[in-house]
Amino acid sequence: MQTRAPHVVGRDREVAAITEALAHTRECRGGAVFLTGEAGIGKSRLARYAAGHAYDEGMRVLKGRGTTIGPMVPFRPLAEALLGLFRGDPPDDSALGPYKPVLGTLIPDWHDHRSTTESVVVLAEAVLRLLASVARKTPLLLVLEDLHEADAETLAVIEYLADNLEDQPVLLLATIRTEPGRALELVHTMVQRGSGSLLELRRLSRDEVVRMAAACLESAPVPDELTDRLWTDSAGNPFVVEELLHGMVSGGLLVSGADGWQVLGELKMPVPAAFVRSVAHRTDRLGPQGREVLSIAAVLGHRFPLSVVQRVTGTDDRRLLSHLHAGVAAQLVTPDEPAPDWYAFRHPLTADALLSQLTPAERADLSTRTADAIEDLHPGLPGDWCPLVAKLRFDGGSPALAGRLFAEAGRRALAGGAAGSAVTLLDRAQGLLADEVAERADVLDTLLPALAETGDFERAFTLGLAELHGLDTARRAKLHTRLSRVAYLAGRFTEGVEQVRVARTLLGPDAPDELTAQLDVNSAYLALNIPSADRIDSAAGLARQAALAADRAGLPTVACEAWQLLGIIAREQDLGEASTCFGKALALADAHHMPIQHIYALVRLAGNEWLAHGTTAALDRTHAEAYQAGAITVAYNVDAILALQFVLTGQYPRAAEQIDRCLQATGRLKFHALTRYLLMVKATLAAHRGDRAGTEDAIGEFESVAKRGAQEFPLCYGLARAFCALLEENHALAVQEIDHALVLESQNPTTFHLSGTHGARLLLGVLDGRLGWADHRALISTSPAGMRWNRQFIELAHAVLLGRAGRCGEAAEAFQRAQEAAAPYPMAWHLGLRLVAPEAGGWGDPVGWLRTAEEHFHQAGIPAVASACRGLLRQAGVPVQQRRSGTEQVPRQLRGHGVTVREFEVFVLLADRMGNKAIGTRLHISPRTVEKHVASLIAKTGQPDRESLSAYAAALSR
């Protein structure tokens, strides 16, 4: 006889739904199923059924559950589940790329010093990719139980998985109690938007309780008296049914005889006291020491380590294991995998029942002794021990000590990237340190950035301002400094400036560098984002002050931030100086082991090389290092720069693919600044293809996410719309767009320098007579003039000015420099040829340039520019090829000479040394017409005579 039902009873609907979901998963149509219900309603039983069915169908099963040790532990259910992948052969990590180091947060086998977790969303993407990689070989069921006890970060990952499993052979099955809380609210939200299905388990009916009792007792019929009592006392809760049956059988109230089960005496076990008495009865049979062991275990939580229990009780190994084995036999506890020295109560209610039997004094004493034991066994309280001991100190009657431990646990959680858990722990610390003003302020110093990281800006401001009263001047100033950073992250730049002003007023002129350095960095970033004519100069001055103060105070993170900002700003004046600043940031990052800052510095150094030389070799190397370190944000920054490079170098299909891929990722990961930049690149791509509608659509998308004064706005006008106008042959509109970009930059100086105001504007202004030598001299003295994209236009403008001055030799040299600068940029170069050809009469080859440009734009599908080139050729009195069917058959080098389709037909036959009459007969034209075509071919190809032309034709045909 057993007192647990051997099969699921009364859950036909749920079993059918789970079976169907598993079948869909095996067909690569995964998803999420959420089992909800009260404690003991059968969620875990159904989860076990799903796991067994999945095993039978050849699927892989991973299992984890919410932590029950004290306060919530970040990512515990996910870590437990994923560690199941490493108990045999570890999974193939070749497809994870940069996400493998990110998973080091959960998987010790993959952890190294470069592992970073930039955000919970990035970690969620990493988990998704790992599960998908494993499931490609074998469909996978991921079972996560007791999510009502999971931390905020785990819930965020689960939400992300549920939203993205639709096309993966992965099924997420999660269990949650129907208790008010974040987990249940999140489940309902996900189900409402179609990211999962909800199976809410109801209580069993009376008939189902009878069937369950019969299954447990392996006998039917069940005595009516027993049925009545089970139905009344359990209220249809399967777990209580089992516990009641076990208590009745073990207590001798229900016995098996020749005529089946019989009830002896009166069944008096009301719910919920029946359950508590059942647990008490079983613990009493374990004796005083056994009861003490389980009481200490209950104080620890629903799971407990043997080492701590042994230290508190002072019991030797043999006796401790004897008590635990007795607890297992009494169905109170069970070994807890995967850790061999951990046990767990069969059900959370068991621990609650044990605690309810303790007096307040007994519970406080056990909690204090247990906390002392843990501190003795684990000095410094690493990992999860800190929040556990904090709870124990609170239960032991030491709220201030508990508050300090909760605060330390919160600081660790924030440093580890678990901002949601940090907020929960720090809130608890704040409540326990109500009478400790200075310590509350220290807690708030961590709580404010944690709230900012979770996006709860309003609460951060409210809480921060409320705590200002009663603090000394230094602490108030420090708090205002934190609030200025929160304001910057929230995009409330004006409010951030006000917080800085108040902090500076409080500190006065003799403030220590430790405080002024952080204030200056905050001010610099705020100044850079507040539209004004001097925002660049203001930000530079503040960043410089911050760097010096941070160096004096030994604040490497602040110094690194300051030098990076100085490098960005220095690009306006001197790329070499910018590289020096980035080099200082890199040295600081390396010296103080700051991997993300290290990679950011490398990216910016590589960006300087790209701007100066138009090459991406350094960016490619940095991109690879960012992926290797799991620095996802940095990697996508490089991806965005490379997307723009693909546009400028004419690799349009590759650019489109890169932009779409990156936009999907940055949108999903909430990288708003990168999304804004990529939408600008998308507009530039459409513009450089001559796609007006696509350009305006992309700029519309950009404007929907960008605030006024965003630094990409000038690029939308000068790099996108202006070039679209040029490809429409609307030069007046192009000038207007670039002039508007210049106005935007004068109102709000930008750190982007490819908007056309440092290159293309000069060329267009010189061509239409608005700009001259003075403008050229002023521009070439600036750093952006040396950037390769700008340099091609500046040299073309220089050539035109020199040609107009009669300095033809120098003009040709300037043109040669422009050609060298423009080598990577085919569209811009051919557009430049079309623009300067009318000016190149005495120093260039306008006819050759126009033919080359016409060929390029005809092939690129830009009819306006191609037609303009043909018109200019006609004005020059030279033959113009007809663009009729078959043009694509003419080799590129001949099309560049203006060879027509009919002329090419003659040219092909000349390779065989055929005469005019034979060629005419073959082509059905007169010999005189053939003679005209031959003469035209000689002139166009530059051959001296017919024999040379025939030899050229023969060589080309080969």
Q: Which pLDDT value is given to residue 271?
A: 37
* 740 burial level (CB within 10 Å; 0-12, 13-18, 19+): middle
List C-alpha distances in Å: 210 to 221, 245, 268, 845: 9, 12, 18, 100
**Mean pLDDT in each 10-residue stretch from start to end of the chain (958 residues)?**
68 92 93 88 90 92 76 79 83 82 82 65 90 92 90 90 92 88 89 92 87 81 79 76 77 74 64 64 81 88 87 87 79 72 75 84 93 93 90 92 92 74 88 83 84 75 78 84 81 84 87 85 83 80 89 89 88 86 91 81 92 92 79 83 96 95 82 86 96 93 84 93 93 95 85 91 96 94 92 97 95 96 96 95 92 92 88 87 67 81 84 84 78 90 89 80
* Nearest to 33, CA basis, from 9, 10, 44, 17: 17
SS3 (DSSP) at 725: helix
Phi first, then psi: give them for residue 593, nearest 5 degrees.
Answer: 55, 55
Helical (H) or strand (E) element with 514:
helix 513-528
- Residue type (1 letter), 505: T
Tokens of residue 312, six digits:
């508190």
d(CA 301, CA 67): 9
Domain 512-630 has CATH 1.25.40.10: yes
* Nearest to 638, CA basis, from 584, 613, 602, 590: 602
DSSP 120: H
Contact 14, 199 (CB under 8 A): yes
DSSP 717: I
The alpha carbon of residue 903 and the mean position of all alpha carbons in its chain are separated, in whole angstroms, by: 58
d(CA 597, CA 620): 18
Tell me which long-range contacts 334-340 makes (C-beta under 8 A, separation of at least 24). Answer: 336/303, 338/80, 338/83, 338/84, 338/87, 339/305
H-type alpha helices, 455-492: 457-466, 473-490
d(CA 837, CA 846): 4
Farthest CA pair distance, the chain: 127
- Tell me the whole-structure pTM to 2 decimals: 0.70
SS3 (DSSP) at 824: coil
CATH number, span 887-957: 1.10.10.10
Same fold flag, 275-358 and 512-630? no
How are beta strands 342-345 and 170-177 bridged, if at all?
unpaired
SS (H, E, C) 38-101: CCCCCHHHHHHHHHHHHHHCCCEEEEEECCCECCCCCCHHHHHHHHHHHCCCCCCCCCCCCHHH
Contact 298, 268 (CB under 8 A): no
d(CA 865, CA 877): 19
List C-alpha distances in Å: 524 to 151, 530, 554, 673: 36, 10, 19, 18
Helical (H) or strand (E) element with 629:
helix 617-629
Q: Which CATH class is domain 12-200?
A: alpha beta
CATH topology for 275-358 is Arc Repressor Mutant, subunit A (1.10.10)
What is the crossing angle of helices 595-613 and 617-629, to 10°? 160
How are beta strands 140-145 and 260-263 bridged, if at all?
unpaired
d(CA 625, CA 629): 6
Domain chopping of the chain, boundaries: 12-200, 206-271, 275-358, 512-630, 887-957
The alpha carbon of residue 290 and the mean position of all alpha carbons in its chain are separated, in whole angstroms, by: 50
* 109 burial level (CB within 10 Å; 0-12, 13-18, 19+): exposed
Helical (H) or strand (E) element with 821:
helix 808-821
Cis before 338 (ω within 30): yes
